[in-house]
Amino acid sequence: MVRNELSKKGAVLTAFAVTTIWSTSWVLIKIGLKEIPALPFASLRYFLAFLLLLPWLLRKNTFRIILALSIKDWIILGGLGLVTYTFCQGGLYLAISYLPNTTVSLILNFTPVLVAFAGGFWLGEKLSLWQYAGLVILITGAVIFFFPVPSGSLPVLGLVFTGLTLLFNVASSLYSRKLLRNGAYPVIIITGVCMGIGSTAMALGSSAWRWLPGLSLQNWIIIFFLAATNTALAFTLWNKALQKLTAFESNIISNTMLVQIAIFSYFFLGDEITIKMALGMALVIWAARCWSISEAIFDQRPNSDKGITDMDLFTLGIITRIECDGNFKYSEIPL
C-alpha cells in the first residue's frame, strides 16, 4: 500500500503525521474506557490488529517458517508476546484508566533511561556523558512536573499500574532487542506471532468476548481505528519515514508526542496543564535530546552497528511507551 520511496521533506512530514496519529490513541483509549474495562479493550484492539496482519503471516515463505518453529521458539516468542502485549499494553490501559494521560506519558518517558542502564548490565553497553546529563535533566523535569503533589490527586493504584507498565516496557525493549540482534526470526513473525499470543492471552484472561454484545457503534469504530490506523498503517508509514530520517531526527520527532498527548488531552478530555507541568515536560524533552545527541555521535563511529544501534533502542522505548509495539521499528510490512 505504501511502496514509493519518500523524499526527505516527505519523510519528515510523514513522521510528524504518524506521531500525531499515535498521540490520538490516548484520547481514544480514554473515551473507550468509559464503556469497556481496560483489559478487554486492549485485547480486542490488538487481537483485531493481529487479524489484519494474518495475510502477511500466511504468505508462503513466512508460513513455512512458522510451521518450522520448535517448542523452544514458541516459548521464546510466547514470552515476548506476554510481556509486550498482555502485561505491558494491558498495564498501560489500566494506568490510563486511573491517571491523566499526561502523567502516564511523562512517567513512561523514563523507559529509555532504564533500558540503557539495564543494557549496561545485560548487553554490555556503556553510558556516555551526554546520557548521564540527560538523566539528571530528566529527573529534574519529573520532579518539577509532579511536586508538590496535592493529597489524593494521584491514585496509588494508577501509579502502581504505571510503574509496572514501565518495568514491562523495559523488559520488552531488551527482550525484543536481543531477538532482533540475533536475527533468529523475521520481524513480521516477531511482531505478528507475539501480538497474536499476547492479545489472545489477554482476551482469555479478561473474558473479552463477554463485552462484545454490549459494545456501542462508537466503541467498535474506536477499536477498529486503533487496530487498523494507529497500529498497522501508522507503523508502516513510520518505517517508510525511517528510510530517510536519521536516528537523531526520528527521535526528535517522536519526542513531540509528550506535548501532543498533553495538548489533545487538554482540549478533548479537559486534563490540566499548568506552567509548572509545561516546564517539567520541556525538561523531559530536552533530556531526550541529550540522549539523541549521544546516539547520533555513536552512529557516526567507524564500524558501528548500523542495523540496530543504541539509538534504535531509544526509539524503541519511545514507541513502546505509546503503543507497546516497538518491534515494528524494524519491520518492513508492505501494507
Of the candidate ranges 32-46, 63-77, 224-238, 317-331, the one whose mean pLDDT is the lowest: 317-331
**Amino acid 146: pLDDT:** 74
Whether 175 contacts 80, CB under 8 Å: yes
Model confidence at 248, in pLDDT bands (50, 70, 90)? low
Phi-psi region of 173 (alpha: psi -120 to 50; beta: other; left: phi over 0): alpha
CA separation, residue 162 to residues 111, 114, 157, 224, 321 (Å)? 11, 14, 9, 25, 11
Reported pTM: 0.79
Whether 275 contacts 115, CB under 8 Å: no
**Amino acid 250: pLDDT:** 72
**Amino acid 295: pLDDT:** 53
Q: Residue 124: what are its φ and ψ, rounded to 5°?
A: 70, 25
